[in-house]
Structure 1
Amino acid sequence: MIHTFKTAAISAVLALGLAGTAMAQDLKFFTIGTGGTAFTYYPVGGVIANAISKPPGSRECGEGGSCGVDGLIASAVSSRGSVDNVNAIISGLRNSGFAQSDVAYWAYTGTGTMEGKEPATDLRTIAALFEEHIHLVALADSGINSVADLKGKRVSLDEPGSGTYVDATLILEANGLSVDDVTAEQLKGNAAAEGLRNGKIDAFFAVAGYPTGAIVELASAADIKLVPISGAGADALTEKYGFFASSDIPAGTYEGVDAVTTVAVGAQWFTSAKEDEELIYNITKALWNDESRKLLDVGHAKGATITPDTALNGVGVPLHPGAEKFYKEAGLLE
């Protein structure tokens, strides 16, 4: 009897071990490089990671379960931003990541701000996501009313490796300034907002979909303004670089802050040409199913603007074959 019990116990342990091994073999992990936790990329990345994931044992789609990719566990990873994400994709450090359309195109072609660097020819697009506005934030009583007024001021351009840093530099240049004309700081997200509030800096740039968390919190604690990026400097920028477009941030987006005209770029989702075609096809399909629509609509203020109708807007880097297959099947691409 004791022998029988031991045999049964051993058999059960072996069965559990084999089941666990099988489950581990079925699991696939997929990372999404995002940005700083206080800006838009990170929370949106979390929503998308949730939408495309379907761990073993999940309830079926339509029965209260996940409608993601069978066996997939996706995770949003905080990063330094667009440039960092592109480099991480190409190096194989991350499976995918978000980046500004301008940064990605320049990296793919080895032009613009990436001139002289080896082109990131393995970069591929999954989808265009949403519009990102360039915020130039100052205190309401700062006397900073234009980009030109930044001369001699302490300005955070965000960290090198971020798309914000790239764009802030271009905006300064389009307005006849350079990084040497300001006291440049490299603060990110909440650190930049806190630095402005405490008088350590006079202004900061942030490229993010509005409303962005760090600025929402700052506006509730201090009187701030959004400085316009418009006029001849903005015109020169949009004319030279087709990725930039003039666009407004509406009044009331941030507490007590008036509407402002600025420039915007597209936020897009990229991966490597080396990623499996069937996997990217299933991920793209999961992103655009009806259940994901519900998650996007409630998960973040920018979620409602992430739609299949705009999934190919402004795409300058080739689609991954898996994504291309989906868009053709969906009738979104000929």
Structure 2
Amino acid sequence: MINRFKSVFVAASVLAGAVLPLQSAHAEYNLTLCGASPGGLWSLLGAGVDAAVKASYPGSTVTYQTSGGGFANVVQIDQKKCDLAIIHDAEVKAARSGQPPFSGPVDSMRSVAVMYTWAPMQLLISKSYAEEHGINTMEDIAAKKVPINILLNKKGNVVSDIGASMLTAVGASPEQIEEWGGSVTYAASKEQGELMRDRRADAILNSLFVNHSSIRELANAIDLKLVPVTKATADKVAGEWNINNFTIKGGTYPWAPDDTLTITVSAQLFVREDADPTMVKDVTTALIDNADKVSGVHKAMKALDAKLMATASAAPYHTAAEEVYKAKGLR
């Protein structure tokens, strides 16, 4: 079994003719957590979960396991190939309803904690390209049939599908962009930055933390323009994926002085419905009691607290996790 649970018990003693009951000194866990690519945000979250569990249960280990990301993690957790998994809310909703890429409903995931709700889709266009073609909103790409070379996240990641939905909603589907002489390339976040710096792409449309280091690094290499969508587009795509609108405040980037409307995804920590209740209870308690261990992995995570962890809606909470939140007055 991947989940190996060990309890260290105080040996039974006889004192004054009485037998003392066995008592648990502490638990140690050896768990695997399915994330995404190494070195990315989810690997940092994995380190935070590991630190939180270690703080409550010394000697424990939560090992970060790289994978293809959220859709792949639905399968991994369903097939018991990891104990914990980080998955986007939109991916879980797609799995539970049997939408593509799933051939039928997959409903084995149960929530443990919300990790974040603030990873907005950001359309970053080379400033010179945006000025040349008069692009001030995403809708301008379609209105002017711009032959743009745009980068989406790699296929199999829901933010790639959401990006394609955004483009389609404004009338610039990947197929239409290709008809106009442009291209849509699917690449991991790190590769996207390299392609933009090498002038092999004109734009990135990806889910990233606001002011993420990769954006700052890219902005140091080339001039960028942060491009919004209209409210009608944001509402349409958010409704399609059952996610939320998001406004990037003006001045967050020195080169983006105006508020920028877009949409956002959230990520949550999941277990299987039949996961060991004691393990789920202990991990949930560890996350609540040591929320700072997770929020401290990146400055963009500072808003994470126990109250936010208790707000999951993509799938029901595991019964053991639900009990912990209720006992602490969080649900």
Preserved contact between residue 152 and residue 163 of structure 2 (Cα < 8 Å) = yes
Q: How many residues align?
A: 291
Per mean C-alpha deviation after superposition, the further-off stretch among 179-188 and 149-158 is: 149-158
Partners of 1:230 and 1:139 in 2: CA distance: 20
Instruction: Give the alignment's TM-score, normalised by structure 2.
Output: 0.80
Do residues 214 (structure 1) and 205 (structure 2) align?
A: no
Q: 2:91 aligns with which of 89, 103, 108?
A: 103
Q: Deviations over 1:273-309 (max 9, x none)?
A: 23211101100100011xx233234321132211121
TM-score, normalization: structure 1?
A: 0.79
CA shift in 2, pair 1:68/1:179, >3 Å = farther
Output one character per residue of 1:9-53: Cα deviation in whole Å (capped at 9) or x when no partner. Answer: xxxxxxxxxxxxxxxxx8532222223446432322322222223
Mapping of residues 1-334 of structure 1, within 5 Å:
28-37=29-38, 39-53=40-54, 67-111=55-99, 113-114=100-101, 117-131=103-117, 132-143=119-130, 144-148=135-139, 149=141, 151-182=146-177, 183-243=183-243, 245-254=244-253, 256-258=255-257, 259-289=259-289, 292-333=290-331
Retained in 1: the 8 A contact 2:126–2:203? yes
Distance 1:140 1:36 in 2: 29
Distance 1:80 1:254 in 2: 30
8 Å CA contact 1:133–1:247 kept in 2: the answer is yes
| Contact in 1 for aligned 2:295/2:305 (Cα 8 Å) | no
Separation in structure 1 between the aligned mates of residue 275 and residue 216 of structure 2, nearest angstrom: 37
1:203 partner letter: A
| Counterpart position of 2:22 | none
Quick one: structure 1 residues 76 and 216, their matched pair in 2 at CA, closer, same or farther if it must change by over 3 Å? Answer: farther
Q: Per-residue CA shift, 1:220-264, capped at 9, x if unaligned?
A: 222112211333222222344432x22112344445333422111
Task: Name 1:62's counterpart in structure 2.
Answer: none
> What SS does structure 2 have at the residue aligned with 1:299?
coil
C-alpha contact 1:128 1:310 (8 A) present in aligned 2: yes
SS of 1:302's equivalent in the other structure is helix
SS in structure 2 at match of 1:176: coil
- What CA distance in whole angstroms lies between the structure 2 residues aligned with 1:283 and 1:211? 30
Contact 1:230 1:263 in 2 (8 A): no
| Partner amino acid, structure 1, of 2:154 | E
CA distance in 1, matches of 2:254, 2:42: 22
Distance in structure 2 (CA, Å) of the matches to 1:255 and 1:79: 35
C-alpha displacement at 1:104, in angstroms?
0.9
For residues 135-172 of structure 1, what are the alpha-carbon distances to aligned partners after superposition, in whole Å with 9 as ceiling and x for unaligned? 11111222243323175322111111112112112212
SS of residue paired to 1:49? helix
> In structure 1, the residue corresponding to 2:296 is in which secondary structure?
helix
Tell which deviates more after alignment, 303-312 or 76-85.
76-85
Distance 1:209-1:236 versus aligned 2 partners, 3 A rule:
same
Q: Residues of 2 paired with 1:252 and 1:268: CA distance? A: 29
CA distance in 1, matches of 2:319, 2:199: 50
Following superposition, the deviation at residue 328 of structure 1 comes to 1.7
For 2:38 and 2:299, how far apart are their aligned partners in 1?
Answer: 15
* 1:69 Cα deviation after fit: 3.0
Secondary structure at 2:128 match in 1: coil
SS in 2 for 1:268: strand
Distance 1:224 1:305 in 2: 27
What is the one-letter code of the residue matched to 2:227? V
Measure the CA separation in 2 of the matches of 1:230 and 1:185. 24
CA contact (8 A) 2:268 2:312 kept: no
Distance 1:159 1:85 in 2: 15
Q: Which amino acid aligns with 1:229?
A: V
